[in-house]
Amino acid sequence: MRSRRRKYDFYIAIFLTIFTVGYFVYNHVSAESRGISKYSSALELYKANEYEKAFEEFGKVPSGSSLKSPALFRQARCATNLDKKELAIKKYNRIVHSRAKSSISPISEYNMATLMFETQDKGAKKHFKRIIKKYPNSDYAIASQYYLGLIEIANPPKNARWLEKSKNRAFIYFKTYINESPDGRFSLNAIDEIKKLNPALTNYDNLLIAKSYYANGEYLKAKDYLFKTTFAESWADFAKNEYRLGNNEKGNSYAEEGLKKYASNTENKDVYEVVDSYIASFPTRKDALAKLVNMNLTSTGADYVAYLNCNEVVASNLKEACYRTLYEKYPNGQFSADSLYNLFIAKYLQKKYYDAQRLGFLHMKKFPDVNSSPAVMYYMGKIAFKLKHYESANNYYKQVIAKYPDTYYAFKANFNLYKDDGMFPFLELNYKPVVFPYKKSLDNNLVVKLAYLKDYDLVGELCKNDKFIQSWIAYQKKNYTVSAILARDGMQDMDVKPPFEDLRWRLVYPMHYYDIVDRVKGDNNPIILQAIIKEESHFNPFAKSVVGAAGLMQLMPATYNEVVKKHNLPSDLNAETANITAGCLYYTSLKRMLGSKDLYTIAAYNGGIGSVTNWFSKLIYSDTDEFVEQIPYPETRNYVKKVLRSYWVYGNVY
């Protein structure tokens, strides 16, 4: 009897367990499904400014849904827009004190604290301090410094001693904010508050305020505060500010004095910026560099001036000597890696392969991962091949492709490994849409869910520092140029590049206008034309260069008008289809004159057909690699590499 009873109890227990688990799963799935539905409909109301209705609809998102916190956040936003601040504070407070912490917590606490400040709730101070302690590296922590300064002066103590202490705390808060965010939303307000406090300002304080005014474009006000500092510490700021005001003569005077006397105590980036502005103020780079070289600089900036001067030297023997002097003088300087690379490539072009190989080994050992590393590794492969070390050559090529997959040299290494496929192995692209760049995110994939619900504003706020997500948002809003540049910068920031299947590559190399390119390409490879559009205009149909080139393919008006007359095209240079069509026809005409060679045609598209034909007779080269490395125009040399890199990546991604 007991045996049967135990058996019966066992089955009942199993049934109850299965029922409970099933009920929980059903409830969870149901809550998530209902949450998505309610949140989606509420968001549409919110976007239509129907805040009362949106508030009610967001309230219907079930507690079991992962979208509950965003729904509460949106309710708080609705209440704020309806000027119901107390209600908004309550909604934010639920998120802040929820046991299920999410990425919405920091912004919720910050928004709650600012509303509490506006309603003169004394609890605001506690929350701003908590934000600084809990999220010290966030933008919310920086902004909290400003609000804490305002709180200190909002209700000043009557006691003179405590009043002075309160003013001092406020000054420190405002100063901290300006230091951490010189061009921030509240920076000019913070300066105004400091002026009201009227503290005794140090040289550092005056320079801090001047830098903030400069960052906000208030150059005359910056000038006033710079004059309250010592020139020895502020010379670079004096110079930069005068250049911004258009006073080149005064800027040059400050620059020359500062570079000669005080550069050693100045940050490299500020010195380099002054040098660049100094050069830009002259009619020609040659004149500016000659004057800088004659200054015989000995401290910070001297190596930069020498490096820029070497870049301008045309004669190969003089160029090599220039880089050798630079490397020997500054063997561990910021430009030593590039100087050593130039010495390496000079020996390679002279066919002194053993000398080049020795320099290549030194470069790889001393500078294992710098901008010139893929080039050195590629040419080490070519040297090994010329010395009949074929296995070693192939290993170098494979390393270039594996370590630097998105470079011009990976494209060239691939050709050297698999010549049977030809120089240009990709002939067309398969369409793949730009989608949210991550398949998974933190916070139980909350950001991904919000992205697919098209809550772009909230996703943008939660992921302010993720360039790929900001790129994706810009793409969704059809700001294609901004999107491409943000994604490009995001990829450049990565030490290790992801595989080409990674969704982020589609943002860096989108297929904008490829349908037009493929339709009007003629006998050209459409991927090369697509790469030209990307590098020329970053997909901005209204792009215009300083010399007047315009449109997606950056055609000069005279060139465009010539093509228009010949082929009866619309006269609008910025019209997308017309510009691309004219660009393709112009590319075709160049290609016919250059023996149907795409690499030379790309060079001519940037440097001009006359220049390229002239280089054919002037340069000594045995293959296209040697031709490219000796192109006298740095802009054209880099342009060829950028276009072919883009061609290579497009082919791999699509």
Structure tokens at 281: 């103020």
What is the reported pLDDT for 564?
84
**Once rounded to an integer, what is the mean pLDDT over residues 547-564?**
91
Question: pLDDT tens for residues 450-503?
Answer: 999 999 999 999 999 999 999 999 999 999 999 999 999 999 999 999 999 999
Question: pLDDT tens for residues 391-433?
Answer: 999 999 999 999 999 999 999 999 999 987 778 999 999 999 9
- Of 100 and 377, more confident: 377
Lowest mean pLDDT: which of 7-16, 218-227, 302-311? 7-16
Residues with Cβ within 8 Å of 424's Cβ and at least 6 positions away in sequence, in order, are 525, 527, 528, 598, 647
**Once rounded to an integer, what is the mean pLDDT over residues 40-58?**
97
Using pLDDT thresholds of 50, 70 and 90, give the confidence band for residue 83.
very high
Q: Residue 215 corresponds to which amino acid? A: A
What is the reported pLDDT for 572?
74
Fold match between domain 1-101 and domain 313-422: yes
All structural domains of the chain with their residue ranges: 1-101, 313-422, 442-508, 514-653
Return the CATH fold of 313-422.
1.25.40
Distances (CA, A) of 414 to 104, 420, 648: 46, 11, 10
8 A C-beta contact, residue 84 and residue 49: no
Cα–Cα distance, 3 to 479 (Å, whole number) = 74
Question: pLDDT tens for residues 501-518?
Answer: 999 999 999 999 999 999
8 A C-beta contact, residue 523 and residue 588: yes
Is 514-653 assigned to CATH 3.50.50.60?
no
**Once rounded to an integer, what is the mean pLDDT over residues 26-31?**
58
How does the average pLDDT of the chain come out, rounded?
93
Distances (CA, A) of 189 to 90, 150, 216, 421, 640: 29, 10, 12, 63, 48
131 burial (CB, 10 Å; 0-12 / 13-18 / 19+) is buried
Using pLDDT thresholds of 50, 70 and 90, give the confidence band for residue 38.
very high
- Region 1-101: CATH code: 1.25.40
What is the reported pLDDT for 181?
97
What is the reported pLDDT for 3?
62
Asked if pLDDT for residue 636 goes beyond 70, the answer is yes
8 A C-beta contact, residue 155 and residue 146: no
